[in-house]
A and B are shown apart, each in its own frame.
Chain A
Amino acid sequence: MSTYAKKQGFGATLWDYLTTVDHKKIAILYLIAGGVFFVLGGLEAMFIRIQLAIPNNDFVSAGFYNEILTMHGTTMIFLAAMPLVFAMMNAVVPLQIGARDVAFPFLNSLGFWLFFFGGLFLNLSWFMGGAPDAGWTSYASLSLHSPGHGVDFYILGLQISGLGTLIAGINFLATIINMRTPGMTYMRMPLFTWSTFVVSALILFAFPPLTVGLVLLMFDRMFGSNFFDVAAGGNTIIWEHLFWIFGHPEVYILILPAFGIFSEILATFSRKRLFGYSSMVFATVLIGFLGFMVWAHHMFTVGLGPIANAIFAVATMAIAVPTGIKIFNWLLTMWGGSVKFTVPMLYAVAFIPSFTMGGVTGIMNAVAPADYIFHDTYFVVAHFHYVIVGGVVFGLLAGVTFYWPKMFGTMLNETLGKISFWTFLIGFHLTFFIQHFLGLMGMPRRIFTFLDNQGLNTGNMISTVGAFFMAFAVIVLVINIIITSVKNVKVGNDPWGDGRTLEWAISSPPPYYNFKQLPLVRGLDAYWVEKMDGKTEMTPAEPLGDIHMPNSSILPLTTSLGLFVAAFGALYNMDDDKTWTVPVIIIGLLITLGSMLIRSIKDDHGYHIHKEELTDDHDKGVKA
């Protein structure tokens, strides 16, 4: 259990990770799973760009292209960006607020395994009759008529992984509200914790509409109901509303943690307090709040009428105000600071102009009349890749590099990191900048090929070349990770040298019980406050005492596995010729309900680490 534990066999390590309820290990699980899905989604992106490199290409067929395109979007949003964000949150937030763990360690594990099996289920569609092909938005007018089981994989897979996300969000809310260490008031919380808090609230309110939408779509496809079937009196627009009531907050769920990570990085490497901390908090909350009133800007061309379009256009433009506050605060954090250009800082500095460009095209899209021109062209593709790659992916790459020592105790190589950064930055702008113009020239989204002599050849070729630059950057990053892990040179508490917040006051990686004694927070940037007083560690807020720890458990995995199994039965149940489906559903649900029953009736009070074991455990392994 302990990070100082003696060498153990592969089987023991595997079992440890399968049953762990420790937030730091769950963070690593999220990182690995999210990283694998990120590479998978990246491969799909490469196939898209190869197909579109030259006119009239036949690298993939039109139908297969639709599947790749759908899976690229779905994988990147739900299975790569979300878990990587959760990896960062799990690794950092409990340490930043000085908590022992998240509020519900068991649920934390359950959230991960639900996400994992949902993602696995979705991706198994490739081998079981074809992936979903109705776009990541899966508009009902299209998805209801999609042949095969692709869309059913989408519905059930996202339903399972969405459950995991909802659980994780609620867990972080409870953690941040209840488990802050003495002195850590709301207005002393680091910005990353604040953004996690707001994001968790967004998850709490945004995922239920998706769940409802998916359930209705599931009934339409599997049980012959007619919620969205216009021919039978349904209304296909309802899906679009439900999807975007979820979908718009979802993009803020992704970007706000990136904002939080950048706020930490910019303050750390400018060696200055974050400029305008309280206005940053205000802006984060305001973005979260406004994020719920703008979803219909995805639907301007649906025909909602001029009044609805005008309201949603104005609300959308209003979001530029808090975002602008943030941009200026970041710039002013660097202003006059003693800036050190490490790899995370490079990402942070590059993020500001890149994301602002995405924001500017966002405002252009928000102008409803102009959107009639932009809608469903590559202009929109360029816009959202500028905010998602230039914001979220930069944020995650920066965050992974920044927090790598805290998660694994080793530093990623700076030179390789800089190679990754520059190739990724160049590749990113090369790929997506030209797409603005392709869109304005009239190239529609989601088409699998284009004709020659339409002026689209050069632009698409440039875009494809840029994609290869990004692929190269990711390969270098993977090599960097492998080299770093093999060398395994351990570092101390504060390897960047300028850590400001609590997580840098504890060893890297932290012991499994986190802070031995809860630290006393005496101001914003708690560790920095102590450093400025000439101290090297935090003042404890409590005497050394027994620490109550949760027991590991395999039940989260089995609970999720049951739903995974049942989903196969549910998926094939609509085929009349398959009789095995009902038993499979029953077996799956029995596994899930059985696991829940065991969890309910078995008393599991956890265990205590006794004071005596804690007194000096620096070198010897602590028994868990």
Chain B
Amino acid sequence: MVNERLNSANPSFDLKYRRKKNAEEMKHQVITFAMMIFFTLIAFAAVGFDFSKWFIKPVILLLAVVQVIFQLYYFMHMKHKGHNTIALFLFSGLAVGLLTVLTFLTIVWW
């Protein structure tokens, strides 16, 4: 996204800055990718080591949420500028969905 926001058609415009940005971006992506793999390993390990269900379930769900955030913000570039509207609608939709789930869990089924 950062790289596409150019005012100049000249490909070597601001090349140094863009190189640096790209390198940084790459670093972030590699770190998050490594962490996501690590989280997956933890999730498998938690099940493998036969801990209490009351420990495993929340931990796996928590790791899943973190992974989704990584996915959205680092791999799908939501951390870049110009994604405010997208974030607004994403989280509003999430709120409506979770509210529905909450209702079903509290007053429909149990």
A residues touching B (Cβ–Cβ < 8 Å)? Answer: 173, 177, 201, 204-205, 209, 235, 237-238, 241, 245, 292-293, 296, 304-305, 308
Mask of B74-110 contacts with A, CB within 8 angstroms, 1/0: 0000000000010001001101100110011011110
Q: Can you give 25 A-B contacts (C-beta < 8 A)?
A: A173-B89, A177-B85, A201-B92, A204-B89, A204-B93, A205-B92, A205-B93, A205-B96, A209-B100, A235-B108, A237-B108, A238-B104, A238-B108, A241-B100, A241-B103, A241-B108, A245-B96, A245-B100, A292-B95, A292-B96, A292-B99, A296-B103, A305-B107, A308-B106, A308-B107
- Report A206 CB to chain B, min CB distance, Å: 8
Nearest 9 Cβ contacts at the A-B interface? A205-B96, A308-B107, A304-B107, A292-B96, A177-B85, A205-B93, A237-B108, A245-B100, A238-B108
Residue of A nearest to B109 (CB): A235
* Chain B neighbourhood of A305, CB < 8 A: 107
A237 to B100, CA, bound (A): 13
Given contact pairs A204-B89, A305-B107, a sample of 16 additional A-B residue pairs in the complex whose CB atoms are under 8 Å apart: A201-B92, A205-B96, A235-B108, A237-B108, A238-B104, A238-B108, A241-B100, A241-B108, A245-B96, A245-B100, A292-B95, A292-B96, A292-B99, A296-B107, A304-B107, A308-B107
Contact surface of B with A, Cβ cutoff 8 Å:
85, 89, 92-93, 95-96, 99-100, 103-104, 106-109
Residues of A near B93 (CB, < 8 A) are 204-205
* Alpha-carbon separation in the docked complex, A67 to B103 (Å): 32
When C-beta atoms are compared, the residue in chain B nearest to A303 turns out to be: B107
Are A201 and B96 in touch, CB under 8 angstroms? Answer: no
Distance in angstroms from B26 CB to nearest chain A CB is 30
| Residues of chain B within 8 A of A292, CB atoms compared | 95-96, 99
Q: How far is the CA of A304 from the CA of B104 in the complex (A)?
A: 11
CB pair A293–B99 under 8 Å, yes or no, is yes
Closest A residue to B85 by beta carbon equals A177
Question: Nearest Cβ distance between residue A270 and chain B, in whole angstroms?
Answer: 33
Contact residues in B for A245 (Cβ distance below 8 Å):
96, 100
**Cα(A292)–Cα(B92), bound, Å:** 10
Given A292-B96, A292-B99, decide whether A241 and B89 contact each other with a Cβ distance below 8 A.
Answer: no
Cα distance, A205 to B103, chains bound together (Å): 16
Chain A residue numbers with a CB within 8 Å of B107 are 296, 304-305, 308
- Contact at A241–B104, with CB atoms within 8 Å? yes
The answer for the CA separation of A296 and B96 in the assembled complex, in Å, is 14
Contacts of A237 in B (CB 8 A): 108
Chain B proximity of A285: nearest CB distance (Å): 11
With both chains docked as a complex, state the minimum distance between the C-beta of B94 and any C-beta of chain A, in angstroms. Answer: 10
Chain A residues, Cβ within 8 Å of B85: 177
User: What separation, in Å, do the CA atoms of A33 and B89 have in the docked complex?
Assistant: 31
A43 to B107, CA, bound (A): 40
Report B89 CB to chain A, min CB distance, Å: 7
Q: Which residues of B contact A238 (CB under 8 A)?
A: 104, 108
Question: Nearest chain A CB to B1's CB is how many angstroms away?
Answer: 16
- Taking the closest CB of chain B, its distance from the CB of A122, in whole angstroms, is 26
B38 to chain A, nearest CB (A): 35
Provide the residues of chain A in CB contact with B109, threshold 8 Å.
235
**Using Cβ atoms and an 8 Å threshold, which residues of chain B touch A204?**
89, 93
Residues of B near A173 (CB, < 8 A) are: 89
Q: How far is the CB of A258 from chain B (nearest CB, A)?
A: 23
Residues of B contacting A296 in the complex (Cβ-Cβ under 8 angstroms):
103, 107
| Cα–Cα, bound, A293→B96 (Å) | 9
CB distance from A282 to the nearest CB of B (A): 15
Q: Which residue of A lies closest to B95 (CB)?
A: A292
Instruction: Give the chain A neighbours of B104 by CB distance below 8 A.
Output: 238, 241
State A547–B85 Cα separation when bound (angstroms).
28
CA distance A241 to B103 in the complex (A): 9
Collect the chain A residues with CB atoms within 8 Å of residue B108's CB.
Answer: 235, 237-238, 241
Indicate the member of B92, B95, B99, B107 with the most A CB atoms within 10 Å.
Answer: B107
CB distance from A165 to the nearest CB of B (A): 17
* Chain A neighbourhood of B100, CB < 8 A: 209, 241, 245
Closest to A249 in B: B96
Quick one: closest B residue to A308, CB to CB?
B107
For the complex, give the distance between the alpha carbons of A542 and B89 in Å.
31
Inter-chain contacts of B92 with A (CB < 8 A) = 201, 205
- Least distance between A303 CB and chain B CB atoms (Å): 10
CA–CA, A241 and B108, complex, Å: 9
